[in-house]
Amino acid sequence: MTAGTRPAAPQRPSQQGKISALDWYSNVFELIDLRSFSNLWFWIALAVVWSSASHWVLGVPYDMVGRARRKGGQAAEDLLDLLRINTTRLLYIADEAGLWIITVGTFFLTGFMILGWVYGVEIAQALFLLGFPMSLVSLISVQTARALHTEDHDLDAVFKRLSRHRLSVQAIGMVSIFITAMWGMYQNLSVGVLGG
């Protein structure tokens, strides 16, 4: 050691603890990143939401509809019973609290739209792109439930109406996923996540 130079001071334990705590916080915040379109969890949630909406037709799993159509008998009776229970419940909620649900839903969707596209909050854009199409699915579900509940249908007419409802939900889902994917790629490229 030459004259005039000092040995490096050892790091105090409290400084080492702060550094590791900062690394831990940065790792956690990286995991729950609010930049939704670059986050894997958002795309998993999008896939789960639309696959569930397509599979559950008015609260009835669609494989049950196919089984009732193929086998008839007890499977068809079970389907009609479950459909009657779910449509009655859905219509009760729509009649009793429908106005409040529409008011609160519109409030949140408008807030997400303003926060997302006026103020540039990405998580609000993601929530709007999830919530708005699902609100359309909810309206179609109430309309289908009312049609099934008020009219006397034979089994073939019920199958056709449920198939038409599922096809409508799938069409809304495909358009929604396409628009969300395009907007998400645009956001990722414009922010520069991919090196742009």
Q: What is the pLDDT of residues 124-177, one digit of tens each?
A: 999 999 999 999 999 999 999 999 988 767 888 899 999 999 999 999 999 999
Whether 196 has a pLDDT exceeding 50, the answer reads no
Residues 90 and 174 sit within 8 Å (Cβ to Cβ): no
pLDDT at res. 13: 52
Cross-strand pairs, 112: none
Q: Give the gyration radius of the chain's Cα atoms.
A: 26
pLDDT at res. 72: 85
What is the percent of the chain where pLDDT is above 90? Answer: 63
Mean pLDDT of 7-22: 56
Angle formed at CA 176 by CA 173 and CA 180, multiple of 5 degrees: 140
Whether 66 has a pLDDT exceeding 80, the answer reads yes
Which of the residue ranges 29-33, 67-71, 98-102, 141-145 would you say has the lowest mean pLDDT?
A: 29-33
Domain residue extents for the chain: 38-191
178 or 150: whose pLDDT is higher?
178
Could you tell me which of 169, 172, 177, 174 has the C-alpha nearest to residue 60? 169
Q: What is the SS3 assignment for 11? A: coil
pLDDT at res. 14: 52
What is the percent of the chain where pLDDT is above 70? Answer: 80
Cross-strand pairs, 57: 60
Distance CA 76, CA 7 (A): 85
Q: At what angle do helices 122-150 and 73-117 cross, to 10 degrees?
A: 150
Whether 53 has a pLDDT exceeding 90, the answer reads yes
Determine if the pTM surpasses 0.75: yes
pLDDT in tens, 16-47: 555 566 676 666 666 555 567 888 889 999 99
Residues 39 and 30 sit within 8 Å (Cβ to Cβ): no
Distance CA 128, CA 130 (A): 5
User: Which alpha helices (H) appear in 59-154, and where do they start and end?
Assistant: 62-71, 73-117, 122-150
